Structure 1
Amino acid sequence: MISIPLAGKSSIADHMVIASGRSTRQVASMASKLAEKIKAETGRSPRIEGLPTADWVLIDAGDVIVHLFRPEVRSFYNLERMWSFGDAPPAGNA
């Protein structure tokens, strides 16, 4: 898992978190549990995209955007490289 600070670099969120699960089942489980925790902490449900297929699930928790991937999909899209602005480790360091 990595966290990329976006404050001052993007208006979409202050932080982006990128993590991997080993399978679609694990990614879906991680997303569901995280959504429950976010709702318990904030009192509001985050927006979730991609849960039915669970290859790549995006959780929009307001100031934090979470991307959960299967490893092959994470490697293909390589969001770390796209959004890191030179301050994140290479893809695959989950």
Structure 2
Amino acid sequence: MRTALEKKAELQPSPAEVSGIDHVSRALELVLASLDDSKAEDIVSINLQGKSTLGDYMVIASGRSHRHVAAVADHLISALKDAGLGFPRVEGMSGADWVLIDTGDIIVHIFRPEVREFYNIEKMWLTPDLDDDTVH
């Protein structure tokens, strides 16, 4: 039979879990700050925890042109590397209509406004949970 102290210890996150949470929070703060510094527009952060195994967060932002999208993405990639947060996987830099930057924990989409409107991926991820009993 377990003691109350043992039961309480089971509920506490392990040091590895806490450091993982800190790592993701730090990375998210860095991503949002970098996008803001680069003058990205309409920045949206979506918590994916418990919704998907793709990552913990998805961040969506817009650049004003192909050149701006590429510059925002390049600035973010450099910031992640400089902060020691690894080397993200990057797709779409050649066309710079839609650049995807995957850090493992955070997926960042940087769009030109027309492309973002066409795909409208945040609508898919911001829909209310179907398990929710409340009617909206």
C-alpha separation in 2, matches of 1:81 and 1:39: 30
User: Per-residue deviation at 1:42?
Assistant: 2.7
Unaligned runs of 5+ in 1: 88-94
User: Per-residue deviation at 1:41?
Assistant: 1.5
Equivalence for 2:124: 82
What is the aligned-residue identity percentage? 57
> Larger RCO: Structure 1 or Structure 2 (Cα < 8 Å, ≥ 6 residues apart)?
1
Equivalence for 2:106: 64
C-alpha separation in 1, matches of 2:73 and 2:54: 20
1:13 partner letter: G
Query: SS at 2:127's partner residue?
Result: coil
C-alpha separation in 2, matches of 1:74 and 1:43: 27
Unaligned runs of 5+ in 2: 1-42, 130-136
Equivalence for 1:47: 89
Which stretch shows the higher mean deviation, 2-11 or 43-52?
Answer: 43-52
Q: Normalising by structure 2, report the TM-score.
A: 0.61
Paired residues, number: 87
CA RMSD of superposed structures (Å): 1.3
1:85 partner letter: T
C-alpha separation in 1, matches of 2:60 and 2:84: 21
1:45 partner letter: F
C-alpha separation in 2, matches of 1:59 and 1:43: 13
- Greater percentage in strand: 1
1:11 partner letter: T
Which of the residues 22, 34, 38 maps onto 2:64?
22
User: Per-residue deviation at 1:85?
Assistant: 2.9
Q: Normalising by structure 1, report the TM-score.
A: 0.88
- Greater percentage in helix: 2
1:24 partner letter: H
